[in-house]
Amino acid sequence: MQAGWTGSARPGDRIGPYTVLSELASGGMGRVYVARSPGGRTVAVKTLLTSDGGNIAPDDRRRFAREAALAQRVHGPFTAGIVAADAEAPVPWIATEYIPAPSLRDLVVSRGPLPVEALPWIAAGTAEALVGIHAAGLVHRDVKPSNILLPGDGPRVIDFGISQAADLTRTGTALGTIPFAAPEQARGEPTTPASDVFSLGATFFFLVTGRSPYRGMGEGTAMEQLVRAAEADLDLTGLPAGAAALIRPCLAVEPAARPTPGALLALVEPVLAARPRAHGAAAWLPDDWSDAIERHRRQRTEEADEARRTVGPDAATARTPRPAPPRTRRLPRPAPARRRTGPLLGVALAALLAGGGGVYLLSRPDEPLVVRQDLRLALVEQSEQGECTDKLAPPTFYDKKQNICYRISTRDADRMSVRRLKQVRTQFDTQFAVMVTFEEGDGQRFSALTARAATRQPPQNQIAIVLGDRLISAPLVNSRIDGDEMQISGAFNRTEADSLVKELGG
């Protein structure tokens, strides 16, 4: 790597001693690569994006070096261990243990909320991870479902190595973090270990309900949502009684009233001790969750193995990576607030504009995109594990990644076709998703469809997104989604997301 390098690499390039096999993800903070160590170990290497022609301020570099050194002191079975880091590289990087596992967010979106009985197992691992992170002098600052992976032997908290080095590329609260940020964090105040505990409680709430504990997350503008978080506008309806004793204390508005991670661990330890023979996902999780974890592991492992074969151990690794082409960041459109925001409005707006959110345009906003005539959305009527058979009457669609067959509704009120989109773009928050912006009429129909879905019981509260004869995704809907945007997620890698964007007219 040479001066001026921006953090973009290709298979065969070298980052420090690691040979890049493939790009795993890319977003507002940086890029993540699957790489091979000289001894053959598979690792994840994260490079931080630069904002000034590849230059990084000396203070930022010193901050990164300090946080990376602290992160290397974190050891434990429930974190993604830091293997190595280089704060003096043209673009600082961190190499971590590679964990081929889905995130908690992906599992809830694809499988629905977690049964309360399984929560203590995940809570114990994540609380123990925070104990180790805080003991090393770190505050994570970005605990959320997409930053907790779930392999079969227990959860792994990731991204703590660059959590406090985030000032390299952004300040304040990132858009994707608002639903899980502590109120003081949303206000731009200093964060503490207690802020991580709130975010962990919000993550637990999402696990068992499928939504954020804040009122109206996903409704209105991003600025309005940030203000709700800053004002601690909580809505805990639907919290199962069996999870309340664990979750409610974490969501205390005052940081001093929240339990420590050690106290959380002590609370769930007796539950685990009562089942001494219960080990791993198969013993604690629903079968469909365990099956999804194993399928993800196999897929990611096979992809890494194939990349190894393609690159080869003797492949040239000294090339200087080409800089990525410039991208245009989209700022949210101003909109009048629906509720009084008071003096917090200025703070919220500043944090909103500072937080990048990792959203980029792939087309000019003033050029409507013509999409294929067969993009359809429809409510799910039935679902069944495995490939589609005669058990479900047509129309049925098979989700290969999740190994689920869905039968969709044929009622006009339960479906819509989309002829044209205003925008198509990628969004990255640990994993790729595709964001589409509807024209005004379709946006209203989409909101009405989500309102219908939110009143139904699983699996009928899912909306199947169908392109031609192919099911793209079937997200769960727990509340009406107002606005003209829809996120299409499905554990996409970069190639899959780019391909879908092109199919949709990008």
- Residues identified as active-site: 142
> Are 452 and 379 in contact, with CB atoms under 8 Å apart?
yes
Q: Which pair of structure tokens corresponds to residue 503?
A: 């199919």
Q: What are phi and psi of 343, to 5 degrees?
A: -70, -10
d(CA 397, CA 304): 29
Q: What is the DSSP string of 77-116?
A: TTB--EEEEESSSSS-EEEEE-----BHHHHHHHH-SPPG
Indicate the angle between helix axes 104-111 and 287-311, nearest 10 degrees. 130
Decide if 39 contacts 46 (C-beta within 8 A): no
- What backbone torsions phi and psi does residue 382 show, to the nearest 5 degrees? -145, 160
**Rounded to an integer, what distance in angstroms lies between the CA atom of residue 450 and that of residue 484?**
12
Q: How many CB atoms lie within 10 A of CB 27?
A: 22
| Nearest Cα residue to 100 out of 309, 303, 311 | 303
Quote the strand ranges of 64-215, DSSP E.
82-86, 93-97, 148-149, 156-157
For residue 431, list its beta bridge partners.
429
Cβ 239 vs Cβ 113: under 8 Å:
no
Distances (CA, A) of 354 to 48, 214, 331: 17, 21, 10
- The tokens describing 15, both together, are 């980052």
CA distance 465 to 216: 23
C-alpha 128/C-alpha 134 separation (Å) is 10
Q: Read off the tokens for 114.
A: 């977690």
> Letter for the amino acid at 441?
G
Can you list the alpha helix ranges (DSSP code H) found in 355-493? 440-454
SS3 at position 65: helix
Which two tokens mark 367?
Answer: 């050029």
Torsion over CA of 460, 465, 468 and 469, rounded to 10 degrees?
A: -40
- Percent helix, strand and coil across the chain, each rounded to 5? 35, 25, 40
Q: CA–CA distance from 459 to each of 118, 263, 474 (Å)?
A: 20, 36, 10
- Give the up-direction half-sphere exposure of residue 366: CA atoms within 13 A in the CB hemisphere: 0
